Amino acid sequence: MSIIQGSSISASSTESGSADFYDYPIEQSLRFDGNSYLSRNLTATGNRKIWTLSCWIKRAKLSSLQYIFSFGSNGGGNDGIATIGFDPTNSFYAYFDSNTSAPYGAVSTTNLMRDTSSFYHIVWQVDATISSADYWINGQKVQNPGLQPPDYTYGNQTGWDMMIGTQAWAPASPHLSGYMANIQFIDGQALDASYFGEISQDIWVPKTFDGTSSTGESTVSTDYGTNGFLLDFSDISGTTINDTAPIDTNHSSANNWTATGF
């Protein structure tokens, strides 16, 4: 399994993470080679309308469809799909699907995501109770013209799948090519990028998710929720990637992942 050691990251550099520069250096990432992915079949139902995903990602291959994260039911049709990824034009995009509607499209960014030398920080915030989905790249909120989730029940439920690096409804392909680090899923809270990163010497860098915003906004719960997780790749047993999020009232047990193709 390709764990990259000592790769402390920021959005615009891969400098070694000195303590005075990084309050929270990320020292390990996982390499996805275009044939590998992580999967988790859910054994409990979480919040099917509200969540936040935060991850750091460094691209290795451009100009192809690649999935970052997805909900779905393998072989169960499209109803309940929710995913983010890169499209063949190198735009960041999101997709939602139900039996009544299927909003899909690229999320407008200032520049296409074509940098293969640095890590991007991506935050995906969803609150379908108010038909809202917002996105941050390297701490900057990006435009999202008309791409909002309909008010329906998503697939964060028992028996459904979460996938990292591929599509949950047909994981055979396509797959992500690149590196991912510090993948966090907060089940039941809609949070912005300031809870996961901050500006240091004019560079967007990681911060510990401790329930406080780096911009002084309201404190939130540090409970990752029923299906929440933190994958920092510090705890791996064979093909099992262990969830290292703190155990709490709702996040009452570790939500571990299975690695395939590494």
Closest CA to 57 of 141, 131, 113: 113
Q: What is the predicted pLDDT for the residue at 96?
A: 79
Q: What is the predicted pLDDT for the residue at 107?
A: 76
* Whether 120 contacts 113, CB under 8 Å: yes
17 vs 259: which has the higher pLDDT: 259
pLDDT digits (tens, 9 = 90+) for 204-248: 999 999 999 999 878 999 999 999 999 999 999 999 999 999 999
Q: How many Å apart are CA 200 and CA 55, to the nearest integer?
A: 18
Q: Count the Cβ atoms, other than its own, within 10 Å of residue 229.
A: 23
pLDDT band per the 50, 70, 90 thresholds, residue 147: low
Over residues 113-119, the mean pLDDT reads 95
The CATH number of whichever domain residue 86 belongs to comes to 2.60.120.200
The yes-or-no verdict on residue 152 having pLDDT over 80 is no
pLDDT band per the 50, 70, 90 thresholds, residue 77: low
The yes-or-no verdict on residue 191 having pLDDT over 70 is yes
Stretch among 40-54, 79-93, 240-254 having the lowest mean pLDDT: 79-93
Sequence-separated contacts (24+) of 96-99 with Cβ below 8 Å: 96/133, 96/149, 96/150, 98/150, 98/152
Stretch among 72-76, 110-114, 219-223, 226-230 having the lowest mean pLDDT: 72-76
Place of tokens 């994958």: 231
> Domain range holding 130?
3-260
Q: What is the predicted pLDDT for the residue at 10?
A: 36
pLDDT digits (tens, 9 = 90+) for 12-23: 333 334 445 566
Q: How many Å apart are CA 4 and CA 179, to the nearest integer?
A: 9
> Please, what is the end-to-end C-alpha distance for the chain in angstroms?
5
Angle at 135 (CA atoms; ends 178, 235), nearest 5 degrees: 45
* Per-position b or e across 207-217, b if 16+ CB within 10 A of its CB: bebeebbbeee
136 vs 170: which has the higher pLDDT: 136
The domain total for the chain is 1
Q: Count the Cβ atoms, other than its own, within 10 Å of residue 140.
A: 13
Q: What is the predicted pLDDT for the residue at 24?
A: 73
